[in-house]
Structure 1
Amino acid sequence: MRKTEDTEDSYFVSKSQRKRDMDALQDLGKKLTEYAPARLKKVPMSENLREALVEMARLTANGARARQLQYIGRLMRSEEVEPIRAALDVIEGKSHAEVARMHRLEKLRERLLEDETMLTEIGNEFPSLDLGRLRQLRRNAIKERAESKPPKAYREIFQILREMDEGKHGASGDDQDEDLEVAGE
């Protein structure tokens, strides 16, 4: 008779479950191949996986792509998967935090267009920001709206606000965004 150990650390995973887990990792690897290598720069992964993804983008033959996809799946087994999934959610805009951050920035842009005093508040919050440029973009955006022109300046204001926000908070907007929002109301 075989004696089995019943410890809290031992956990049995069936062969079928391991296969499902491997397939899920390979599917995640396949999803990574759908993005341009430049877009994946912020995704935390090993250098080997990054190189394999770049190589996958270069391949054209179906057989070579299938082999490379298998290799990527094998590399995925040694990766931290949750940070990769979270980064992909941010890239795809699925992250609730990222959606909320974008909404905050859109509200800030709208308040800026409605009230010029928001320039002072934004300047106090972000002293390195070129307020003259932002003021000019605000005027241009208001003029574009009035003349029903394409919203070039309107979009550029959002880009500046987003870059400013990323510079202050990294890739995620935190409670300090809400402080700026409350200050403007």
Structure 2
Amino acid sequence: MAKKNKVDFDTPEEEIIYVSRAELKRDAKELHELGADIAAMSKKQRKTIPLNEELIEAMELADRLKEKTEAYRRHLNYIAKCLRLAANIEEITKAVNILKNKHAQGNVLFHKLEHIRDELIEVGDNKINELVSEYPELDRQRLRQLTRQAKKEKAANKPAKAYREIFQCLKEVITQ
């Protein structure tokens, strides 16, 4: 009879974390999409992303391949594999998200400027004084003149030329 090895199940060893296959597939798909997003970016945008040498070379090859070919699809799989092995994946993801959301950030700024412009026309001097104290480079006299002119144009149902000029003045100074 063979001697059985006794295994002590009470001694704590390294805790094994089990990950489901579905979760692994989700992660792989996310990395594939991240790689496709990076490959679709311009070279100038890619320079701002902290990619390692292998990924930089893979992106250069992706630029040379045609997007609708099978080789391009396989190459995206290779890029996803390189991303899985990359040590700084969080930094790469963060940089890509920032680049993708530049347009949305611009929209938020424009909405903010439109709101400020509408308040300027409604409230008047109090809002102008508040804005000039917050942004000293604004021209108080020009803003007062434009708000008065915008009110007159609105009352006379004329084209809103001063309304647009207020927006341009605010856009020059307020960048955040």
TM score, norm. by length of structure 1: 0.53
**What is the aligned partner in structure 2 of residue 46 from structure 1?**
50
CA RMSD of aligned residues (A): 4.7
2:112 aligned with 1:108, yes or no?
no
Return 5+ residue gaps in structure 1 as ranges.
166-185
The alignment partner of 1:12 has SS state of coil
The range that moved more, 25-34 or 82-91, is 82-91
Return 5+ residue gaps in structure 2 as ranges.
none
CA distance in 1, matches of 2:38, 2:141: 37
**What is the aligned partner in structure 1 of residue 16 from structure 2?**
10
Instruction: State the identity %.
Output: 20
How far off its partner does 1:111 sit?
0.8
Decide which of 54, 60, 64 is 1:55's aligned counterpart.
60
Q: What is the total number of aligned residue pairs between the two structures?
A: 158
CA distance in 2, matches of 1:31, 1:84: 12
2:101 aligned with 1:90, yes or no?
yes
2:133 aligned with 1:124, yes or no?
yes
Contact residue 26 and residue 73 of structure 1 kept, 8 A: yes
Q: C-alpha deviations, 1:39-94, integer Å up to 9, x for none?
A: 6787xx4134984696378435235533542343234333116635753673463x
Contact residue 119 and residue 127 of structure 2 kept, 8 A: yes
2:76 aligned with 1:76, yes or no?
no
The alignment partner of 2:16 has SS state of coil
The alignment partner of 2:101 has SS state of helix
Q: C-alpha deviations, 1:93-146, integer Å up to 9, x for none?
A: 3x9xx987665443222112332442321121122x242696289459838865
CA distance in 1, matches of 2:45, 2:145: 28
Q: C-alpha deviations, 1:11-64, integer Å up to 9, x for none?
A: 11244532331112111332344454556787xx41349846963784352355
The alpha-carbon distance between structure 1 residues 82 and 63, as it changes in their structure 2 partners (threshold 3 A), is closer
The alignment partner of 2:25 has SS state of helix
CA distance in 2, matches of 1:18, 1:148: 58
Contact residue 119 and residue 135 of structure 1 kept, 8 A: yes
CA distance in 2, matches of 1:144, 1:36: 44
The range that moved more, 6-15 or 106-115, is 6-15
CA distance in 2, matches of 1:68, 1:9: 36
CA distance in 2, matches of 1:88, 1:32: 10
Structure 1 residue identity aligned to 2:134? E
**What is the aligned partner in structure 2 of residue 182 from structure 1?**
none
